[in-house]
Amino acid sequence: MLRLDKFLCEMNIGTRSQVKKELKQGAVTVNGETVTKPEYKVDEKKDRVAYKGKMLEYRRFVYYMLNKPPGVVSATRDNVHGTVTELLKDTGYGELFPVGRLDRDTRGLILMTNDGELAHCLLSPGKHVEKTYDVELEKGLSREDVRRLEEGVDIGGGRRTLPARVRVLGEKRIYLTITEGKFHQVKRMMEAVGNRVVSLCRVSMGGLKLDEALLPGEYRELTEEEVGMLKG
């Protein structure tokens, strides 16, 4: 059971004070009856709650897959650049945040949610969640370069990366799978073997694969199967 004002806040109707104002104005019904008291208890699984005539389906947490375009920062707010949260304003959920970060010039898969527990699990270093990147390089990799990347390389500051997986897709293109998220890690790994990243796209994270139907800047909700896979 939830207080009605808490239920409405979690459904993104507004802040606690805004919700109380809407209740006083008779904008909310529970099972067809107008309710004005914020402390009124509702069963989020059984009661039929409507706001201005529209039924509300209770969902505490939501999950979206975003194909991040270049030029956008992986943050909730920024004074200079556009943010990933601004791309999801039409969802109606104002408290979404990105799980992890991609550099401003990097594109690809970003998970957007309001589920802090899942985000912590996916980002925890001890979980070794795999992330795969489609990497276009300035020049091809030698067998020795691949061996070094797969064994781990020194990316400066006394930091050595954990073993990675390299799948060669073409002369200057690879899939690189890592289990860490150090600052500019992929770029620094390529620099460690005398190469340079021309373009970078994250194509998967924790088994979740970027939907090829999503154009840069587009997003969709995760399916129940995808959410279940991430929670594993």
Nearest alpha-carbon partner for 119 in 166, 176, 168, 76: 76
The CA distances from residue 178 to 7, 68, 169, 185, in Å, are 39, 19, 17, 9
Q: Exposed, middle or buried by CB within 10 Å (0-12, 13-18, 19+), for 52?
A: exposed
What is the rounded distance in angstroms from the CA atom of residue 170 to the CA atom of residue 186?
A: 18
103 annotated active-site: yes
For residues 208 and 150, the answer to whether their CB atoms sit within 8 Å is no
Q: Determine which one of 78, 103, 145, 211 is catalytic.
A: 103
Instruction: Cite the active site residues.
Output: 103
